[in-house]
Amino acid sequence: MVPGDFYGAFMLAIRSKSQKWYFVASVTMISLAVSWLVTSLTAPEGLTRASLVPSTLAPLLIAPLASYWAACRLLEIHILNEKLLHLAAHDQMTSLYSRDHFFRLIAGLGSEFQGSFLLADIDRFKSINDTHGHQAGDEVIRFVASVLKDGVQPGGIAARFGGEEFVACLPDVPLTAAAETAEAIRRTIGARPLSVGAEGLLCTVSIGLGYHDGSRPVEAVLRDADEALYAAKNGGRNQVQPAFTG
């Protein structure tokens, strides 16, 4: 590793306040060592007591201030990068994973993983918006997202798929157990009225399930879950429907 790469790696490692002070101390010590080395090589009499004072004072005065300023700026950049990564990976309204990040996480499980997928859609959502307003609709979306996120734990991956539709993956969970989880989510959502103005608003969801056994692409399993979701909608809504895989 060349010195520039080493210095760059040092700077990229600043991810906390404690690391910031470690960086300041390290840069100061390195600056002292370099100053003494340069003095010993360039001074006519080498590093003597007389030359030791200026070669020590200069880096002690300059290096801590310069490295502290640089460390503060780098820590700010790291915090901003973390915020940007979080924003890119999460839906801003619900704090669930975004659709794109959901698929990145699923891809990270490998093509042969086994587990269940859940697609949920809020019933008659347009009617909620038309009757109670879009602010109430947003509250319903956040409420359903919160119940879904809690309901698929531990180990589940939940995301907002778009609009009033949500998706979740339950790795290593068979379809029968996933159906029980989905049913618990459905019951919880349907049993909690939301305060909208002077009245309570009850909402329901329809849920379709699919199972990934590693033999087919995830997209095919999600199509199964989507067909099951529409079967639940056509069957009267507010129900859980596993996919029929034949």
CATH of domain 99-242: 3.30.70.270
Q: How far apart are CA 122 and CA 17, in angstroms?
A: 44
Task: Write out the two tokens for 79.
Answer: 């915090």
The per-residue pLDDT of the chain, averaged, comes to 86
Q: How far apart are CA 147 and CA 184, in angstroms?
A: 10
Residue 115 has pLDDT above 70, yes or no: yes
- CA-based nearest residue to 143, from 96, 180, 106: 96
- pLDDT per residue as tens digits for the range 18-30: 677 777 788 888 8
Residue 16 has pLDDT above 70, yes or no: no
Classify 217 as helix, strand or coil: coil
Domains of the chain, by residue range, sit at 3-89, 99-242
Catalytic residue among 76, 139, 164, 219: 164
Are residues 67 and 24 in contact, defined by beta-carbon separation less than 8 angstroms? yes
Does residue 164 carry a catalytic annotation? yes
Residue 11 has pLDDT above 80, yes or no: no
Model-level pTM?
A: 0.72
- pLDDT per residue as tens digits for the range 52-108: 777 788 778 787 888 777 777 777 877 787 778 877 899 999 999 999 999 999 999
